[in-house]
Structure 1
């Protein structure tokens, strides 16, 4: 049976962020992920995890100036020192939260540059991140993201991501396979899962309904079939629930939309 982690950046918007840990635990989640922890001291987050018996499975390294539209710095020439400083901060949080995985966002293509022109910067930065993380037993994840939600993002496809793994050449760099993004960009999800999950290089999976990014039982993807397939393939990792609850702030909130989760269990 798949193991599901609540993404606290998107789920439970009816609660303040620090209260979402308790809400997730009440609904039966045993693990959580979120985008960025840096607005809160690591000790405070660790206390929430411990108080509610939750495991932290993933968060993102600093993305640059998020509020100004930046979506990572790994592919940005000239920002290498900032990238390294962000990795130091992310590793400190990972150790405090006992999180085994850090997602490193690639970033948006700089104006007037091509993917080929910034690829060397991206590969070099990922090698640095992998070397920094390895002594702590941490995995670095890279995630293909669709260009509709994030126009100009450097990395969009699963085959591109796995080719980059080979080029980076670090065993602790893996792919974060978000099936929402994969469906929008490539489709053929079952075939993609069969191709890549058995390689052991998919470190984390995320889900959401397509196309609106709501609950996974809403939209064009039949997730029960994919959950069964992942079980058959022996996928050992977590599945992050990174979706926007359709009920939002309405009656019942996030909890009211978790029927799909109870059925999956």
Structure 2
């Protein structure tokens, strides 16, 4: 059964986080995911989730110093200590808030060699995976497409899959985002099937504008059918930028014969 989750880093962007949670529940979503909720105490997030009957799927690791263009720390040589501090704090936050997963952001790496970044990334993720085990939290790796993020550590699902083989930890999985995969070109559904055993979470958005899914988005429709046929028991994160008002744009769910209320 296809189960949809609201990504509160993207949906209802004009509202504060708690109001976004209320809006998601009002729209019928039974699960949410977040980007960087750290300004709100985790106890508040947990209490709100319980009050609104929402499952908190996951959050992102701290992005580092945005002014320096870091966008994550996992692959950045010389930032290992900051990475450990950030992930340690993020795991504590996730555990208190009730999140099940942490997307570990790799970072922009244009000033370093690929080999040095790969070595740092592997060592950092092995350490982080061991820490996450004590919390029962899954770590997610997500490549970001080259057009939007040219300096990011990895751009393709294939690169992330190679990294996973080196990390070799059962609680580290791929986050399969149809937007980033689609922006890289190629066969989105084929990539899903090829890497299915490694995938821990799925997200959707239209290509190339990252807006709401449409009936004409064949890749998204086929991906949802594929995950359903493969017996996926997780949630599909709606990580898209609304083209207009978020609530007005939710009509795509009925158009694709889906429902948030059956979650």
* Worse-matched range after superposition: 210-219 or 144-153: 210-219
Q: Within 1, Cα distance between the matches of 2:105 and 2:216?
A: 27
Change (3 A) 1:170 1:11: same
For the aligned residue pairs, the C-alpha RMSD in angstroms reads 1.4
Partner of 1:132: 131
* 1:146 corresponds to: 145
Distance in 1 (CA, whole Å) between partners of 2:216 and 2:114 is 32
Partner of 1:49: 49
Runs of 4+ with deviation above 3 angstroms: 218-222
Q: Does 1:109 align with 2:103?
A: no
Instruction: Kindly state the Cα deviation for residue 180 of structure 1 after the two structures are TM-superposed.
Output: 0.4
Question: Is residue 2:242 matched to residue 1:245?
Answer: yes
Give the Å deviation of 1:117. Answer: 2.5
Note the alpha carbon deviations across 1:194-226, whole angstroms, 9 max, x for none: 1122x1x21111111110000011775442232
TM-score, normalized by length of structure 2? Answer: 0.93
Query: Is 1:76–1:110's contact at 8 Å kept on the other side of the alignment?
Result: no
Q: How far apart in 1 are the matches of 2:156 and 2:188?
A: 12
Matched with 1:235 is 232
- 1:142-167 Cα distance to aligned partner (Å, 9 max, x none): 10110111121001111111111111
Give me the whole-angstrom Cα distance separating, in 2, the residues matched to 1:235 and 1:220.
Answer: 20
Residue pair 1:209, 1:217 contacting (<8 A) in 2 also: yes
Deviation digits for residues 220-249 of structure 1 (CA, Å, limit 9, x no counterpart): 5442232112111111211111111001xx
- What is the rounded CA distance, in whole Å, between the counterparts of 1:46 and 1:162 in structure 2? 32
Alignment partners' CA distance in 1, 2:217 and 2:31: 27
1:110 Cα shift? 4.0
Map of 1:27 onto structure 2:
27
Q: For 1:156, what is the secondary structure of its paired residue?
A: coil
- What is the DSSP-based 3-state SS (H/G/I as helix, E as strand, rest coil) of the residue aligned with 2:4? strand
Does the residue aligned with 1:6 lie in a helix, a strand or coil?
strand
Aligned to 2:248: 256
**Unpaired runs of at least 5, structure 2:** none
Distance 1:115 1:186, change over 3 A: farther
Matched, 1:93 2:93: yes
> Is the CA contact 1:31–1:54 (under 8 Å) kept in the aligned structure 2?
yes
1:212 matched to 2:209:
yes
**d(CA) in 1 for partners of 2:127, 2:110:** 21
Q: 1:250: which partner in 2?
A: none
Query: Per the alignment, in what secondary structure is the counterpart of residue 203 of structure 2?
Result: strand
Matched positions, count:
257
Q: 2:221 aligned to 194, 217, 224, which one?
A: 224
CA distance in 2, matches of 1:261, 1:67: 37
TM-score normalized with structure 1 length: 0.93
Distance 1:68 1:116 in 2: 22
